[in-house]
C-alpha cells in the first residue's frame, strides 16, 4: 500500500510546486486568466467599490485540510487608510494578502470590501479593484513601456509617461538607449531590484486601484534606493486602502494601524507608538531590528 501512496505523495508535491509557481506569477498579473479552482457563482454580481473599506471577519484558512494557517483573523481597514502586517516568518502575512486577492477561498469567516463578501462577486471585478506591488517583479520580455502599459489596457503614451513620472522612473527610462522602447526582461536590459519595483509601481499607478497591496521586498535595497521607493510608495498609498506586508519594521512607522501576526493569530494591534509602549512582541522585534540596523551602519562605516 505504501508503494501506491508514495507516487501519489510525489504527485501532490509536484502539484503544490506548480500551484505555488502559479501564485507567484499571478502576483505579477501574468496569469490572471489561468483556470483556477475558484469559480464565480452563476450570476455573481460585480464588486461595486464606493469607498474601499476592507474587513476580515473571523477568517479561518489553511492551504491543506490538515493544517490551519489562519485561526480566526479579524480587522477592519477604513477606506483610504493603511494597515501594516508584521510578524515572524511563516506567521501568515502573505497569506492574508493572497486571500484578499482571492487566490483561495477562506474556510471560515468572510472578507468584505465595502460590505460585499468577496467570495460572492465576480473575480475579475475584484481583481480590477486591487493593485499589487509584489516583492519581486518578473518583467515580460518586451519593452519597458509595454511592461508599464500592462497596468491598464488601452493606456495612451501620455498616461504611461505620467505613471512613470509618479513612480520616479521616467528620467531613468529616458536615459536608456531606446527610451520607452528599450527591451527589458531576461532577453533584454536587466533592471536592478529597485528599478523593477518602480516599474511595478508605475503599472499600479496606471491601474489606479482603490485597494492596494504592497508586499515589501525581503531583499535589501541600498538605503538611498529604499528611501526613494518608500517615498513613492507613501505617495501612492495616500487616498487608497492599503495593506503593507512588511518585512522591515522601519517601513511601518507611518501606518495608521499595525497588526502583529504570530502563528496565524493577531497578537497585538495598534499604532507604532502604542505598540512600542506596549512592550510586547512588536517592541521586541523593533529593538532587535534597531540593533541590527545599528550594527549594519557600523559595518558600512567601517567599510568606507
Ligand atoms: P514570510 O515573512 O516568511 O514571508 P509570511 O508571514 O508571509 O512569512 P506566509 O507566506 O503567509 O507567511 O505562510 C504562512 C504559512 O503557510 C507558512 O507555514 C507556509 O509554509 C504556509 N504556506 C504558504 N504558502 C503555502 C502553499 N502554497 N501551500 C501550503 N502551505 C503554504
State pLDDT tens for residues 263-295.
999 999 999 999 999 989 999 988 888 787 666
Inter-residue contact 240 to 226 (CB < 8 Å): no
pTM score: 0.81
Tell the residue nearest (CA) to atom 30 of ligand 1. Answer: 63
Q: How far apart are CA 283 and CA 274, in angstroms?
A: 10
Distance from the alpha carbon of residue 24 to the mean position of ligand 1, in angstroms: 12
In the structure, which protein residues have their CB atom closer than 6 angstroms to any atom of ligand 1?
16, 20, 63-64, 69, 87, 89-95, 247
Pairing, β 82-86 against β 70-77? unpaired
Q: Three-state DSSP class for 267?
A: strand
Residue among 200, 203, 175 nearest 189 (CA): 175
Run of H or E including 242: strand 241-245
> Scanning the structure block, which residue is given the C-alpha cell 510578524?
87
Residue 224: CA count within 13 A, CB half-sphere: 0
Distance, in Å, from the CA atom of 177 to the CA atom of 175, rounded to the nearest integer, reads 7
ipTM computed for the complex: 0.97
Contact between 242 and 214 under an 8 Å Cβ cutoff? The reply is yes
The pick from 56, 67, 93 for probing ligand 1's pocket by mutation, whose C-beta has the most ligand atoms within 8 angstroms, reads: 93
To the nearest 5 percent, what fractions of the chain are helix, strand and coil? 45, 20, 35
Tell me the C-alpha distance between 178 and 134, whole Å.
26
Q: What is the pLDDT of residues 91-138, one digit of tens each?
A: 999 999 999 999 999 999 999 999 999 999 999 999 999 998 887 788
Phi-psi region of 248 (alpha: psi -120 to 50; beta: other; left: phi over 0): beta
User: In angstroms, rounded to a whole number, what is the distance separating the alpha carbons of residues 179 and 170?
Assistant: 9
Residue from 92, 97, 135 whose mutation best tests the ligand 1 pocket (most atoms within 8 A of CB): 92
Amino acid at each position: 500500500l505504501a508503494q501506491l501512496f508514495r507516487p501519489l505523495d510525489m504527485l501532490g508535491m509536484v502539484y503544490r510546486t506548480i500551484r505555488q509557481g502559479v501564485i507567484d506569477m499571478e502576483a505579477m498579473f501574468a496569469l490572471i486568466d489561468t483556470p483556477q479552482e475558484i469559480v464565480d457563482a452563476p450570476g455573481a454580481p460585480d464588486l461595486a467599490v464606493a469607498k474601499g473599506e476592507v474587513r476580515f471577519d473571523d477568517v479561518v484558512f489553511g492551504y491543506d485540510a490538515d493544517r490551519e494557517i489562519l485561526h480566526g483573523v479579524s480587522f477592519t481597514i477604513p477606506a483610504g487608510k493603511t494597515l501594516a502586517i508584521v510578524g515572524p516568518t511563516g506567521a501568515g502575512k502573505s497569506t492574508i494578502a493572497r486571500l484578499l486577492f482571492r487566490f483561495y477561498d477562506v474556510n471560515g469567516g468572510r472578507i468584505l470590501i465595502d460590505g460585499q463578501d468577496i467570495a460572492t462577486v465576480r473575480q475579475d471585478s475584484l481583481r480590477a479593484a486591487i493593485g499589487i506591488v509584489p516583492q519581486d517583479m518578473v518583467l515580460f520580455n518586451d519593452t519597458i513601456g509595454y511592461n508599464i502599459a500592462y497596468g491598464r489596457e488601452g493606456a495612451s503614451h501620455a498616461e504611461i509617461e505620467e505613471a512613470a513620472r509618479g513612480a520616479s522612473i521616467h528620467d531613468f527610462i529616458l536615459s536608456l538607449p531606446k527610451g520607452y522602447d528599450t527591451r527589458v526582461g531576461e532577453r533584454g536590459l536587466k533592471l536592478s531590484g529597485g528599478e523593477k519595483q518602480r516599474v511595478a509601481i508605475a503599472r499600479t499607478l496606471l491601474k489606479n486601484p482603490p485597494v492596494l497591496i504592497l508586499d515589501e521586498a525581503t531583499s535589501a535595497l541600498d538605503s538611498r534606493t529604499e528611501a526613494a521607493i518608500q517615498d513613492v510608495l507613501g505617495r501612492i498609498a495616500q487616498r487608497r486602502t492599503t495593506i503593507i506586508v512588511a518585512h522591515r519594521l522601519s517601513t511601518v512607522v507611518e501606518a495608521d494601524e499595525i497588526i502583529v501576526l504570530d502563528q496565524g493569530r493577531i497578537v497585538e494591534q495598534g499604532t507604532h507608538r502604542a505598540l512600542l509602549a506596549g512592550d510586547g512582541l512588536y517592541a521586541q522585534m523593533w529593538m532587535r531590528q534597531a540593533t541590527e540596523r545599528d550594527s549594519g551602519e557600523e559595518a558600512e562605516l567601517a567599510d568606507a
